[in-house]
Amino acid sequence: MKKVLVVDDSLSVARQLERIINESGDLVCVGHAKNGAEAIKMNHSEDPDIICMDMNMPGMDGLTALRSLVVLDKTVKVVMVTSLGGVGDKFTEAIKLGAKNVISKPFEPDNVLNILRSL
Amino acid sequence: MAVKFFGQFLVEQGAVTSEALLHAIELQDRTNLKLGEMAVAMGYITADDIERAHTSQLSKDMKLGDLLVDLGILTPSQLQEVIDRQKATHLYIGEALVKVGALTPEKLESYLAAFKVDQAPYVADRIELPEWLANQHLWETTVDMSYKMITRVLGIQFRPGKCQEVSRLSTNHMVAAMDLSGDAAARYLLSVSAGLQKTIAKAILKEDNVDQEPPEVLEDTVMEFVNIVCGNVVAKASQSGLSLEINPPITIHPALNGLPVPDCYRALLFPIHVSDDQVMELALFIKQ
């Protein structure tokens, strides 16, 4: 089973993603971080295969955390989950920094699973 | 289900890999000249002129092209020629993907058609706004996107009321707000009654019953809805060349006499009639 860490300051988005992941049968959510700094700590303690991370969070935002994560951990795959996915510049910046994909909000559960399973 | 950038749609569909998209974007970066670079390439200005304009931009809130005209470096007709040349030579992401060999021209055509269908729900309808308002298209998009998301994401049927200017937002159970900055500055506010807060929570959490949910989760669902609307507005605005940023959403509990409009702002209210006992209002506090 692939381990997934969810990073989002929104309790409701984290709940949705956790449910989609845990009901998939082949993925398991290993935790929920509320900002980029917590994500870096939990990546170390939980050792996930995949991180699903919001871009726009108070404290350390998703793109700043992505910059650190790709340097600190060469194996973890990061997918950004954001309402800003349709902004060409934001999408491009995330991919250039090393994100494997960008999921736009509002998302469909099947779309999330297809992307996570393709990694 | 969201506003998308064509490259993102292609990666999502599995038509191209994110690596191929990156190559195409790099080709675009090398090919598509910025306004100043194009004016230099056309022999109208020098690199020193751009430097001078950039220094001047520190004290004047103007776009580079307008500033070059303001400083007498470019004439208005030369500026128009530069913009026309930029448009005529612009390499679009689809064409760039064909050039790097990631897509055939035939596949590009068929994916463009599919993209048009995917994005058709987000073509804006006309919203009546006051004449004094700047950036009419942006605010029209904002209100229209809100209406579409209320129907599609929340599943709420409503009748939109007529836009009115107000000096205060009436009190309500809660208000979720998000600040927009960049080429336009405003605060987006969604005011909801307790009943509608639960309706929003059910839709966002995909639960039939939210009676046991703590208040912070219920509030969070309204903030998340505002985040979804504003993020998609920023995406739509970027397609029209406007650059906007958003901050994380916040919750406000207005006092009994409501929420006053801050100095230097004008406020537009858009009533959203759901039922007699459930009140939802969209407001835009627009910086003047």
DSSP string, B37-76: HHHHHTTS--HHHHHHHHHHHTTS---HHHHHHHTTSS-H
Mean pLDDT of B12-20: 89
- Give φ, ψ of B251 to 5 degrees: -105, 135
For residue A35, list chain B residues with Cβ-Cβ distance below 8 A: none
Q: Which domains does chain A have, with CATH numbers?
A: 2-117 (3.40.50.2300)
CA A22 to chain centre: 15
Q: Which of A12, A84, A101 lies closest to B205 in CB terms?
A: A12
Among A83, A94, A91, smallest CA distance to A51 is for: A94
Per-residue pLDDT band at B123 (split at 50, 70, 90) = low
Which residue intervals of chain B are DSSP H helices?
A: 6-12, 18-31, 35-41, 47-57, 64-70, 76-89, 93-99, 105-119, 136-152, 194-205, 215-239
The torsion region of residue B16 among left (phi > 0), alpha (psi -120 to 50) and beta comes to: beta
Asked if B1 and A107 come within 8 Å (Cβ–Cβ), the reply is: yes
β-strand pairing of B186-192 with B278-287: antiparallel
Q: Count how many pairs of residues, chain A against chain B, have C-beta atoms within 8 Å.
A: 108
Q: Extract the tokens encoding A116.
A: 């996570």
Q: What is the pLDDT of residue B158?
A: 87
- What's the pLDDT tens digit per position in A28-53? 999 999 999 999 999 999 999 999 99
Higher per-residue pLDDT: B180 or B58: B180
The residue among A55, A105, A114, A116 with the most chain B CBs within 10 A of its CB, best to mutate, is: A105
Q: What is the pLDDT of residue B29?
A: 87
Q: What is the pLDDT of residue B127?
A: 80
For residue B217, list chain A residues with Cβ-Cβ distance below 8 A: 11-12, 15
> A 33-62 residues with CB below 8 A of B?
56-58
For residue B220, list chain A residues with Cβ-Cβ distance below 8 A: 10-12
Q: What is the pLDDT of residue A21?
A: 97
Higher per-residue pLDDT: B34 or B222: B222
- Residues of B contacting chain A (CB within 8 angstroms): 1-5, 7-8, 11-12, 14, 18, 21-22, 25, 93, 149, 153, 201, 204-206, 216-217, 220-221, 223-224, 227-228, 230-232, 234-236, 238, 243, 246-248
Are B141 and B236 in contact by the 8 Å Cβ rule? The answer is yes
Asked if B204 and A107 come within 8 Å (Cβ–Cβ), the reply is: no
Q: What is the pLDDT of residue B257?
A: 85
DSSP letter, residue A14: H
Check whether B125 has a pLDDT greater than 70: no
Q: Which of A88, A95, A107 lies closest to B22 in CB terms?
A: A95
Check whether A18 has a pLDDT greater than 90: yes
The residue among A87, A102, A111 with the most chain B CBs within 10 A of its CB, best to mutate, is: A87
Q: Which domains does chain B have, with CATH numbers?
A: 6-119 (no CATH), 124-287 (3.40.1550.10)
Q: What is the pLDDT of residue B258?
A: 87
Asked if A11 and B3 come within 8 Å (Cβ–Cβ), the reply is: no
Mean pLDDT of B194-209: 93
Q: Extract the tokens encoding B276.
A: 């007699």
Cβ–Cβ contact A82 with B under 8 A? yes
Check whether B53 has a pLDDT greater than 80: yes
- What's the pLDDT tens digit per position in A78-118? 999 999 878 888 888 999 999 999 999 999 899 999 999 99
Check whether B58 has a pLDDT greater than 80: no
- What's the pLDDT tens digit per position in B69-107? 988 999 999 999 999 998 899 999 999 999 999 999 999
Q: What is the pLDDT of residue B124?
A: 60
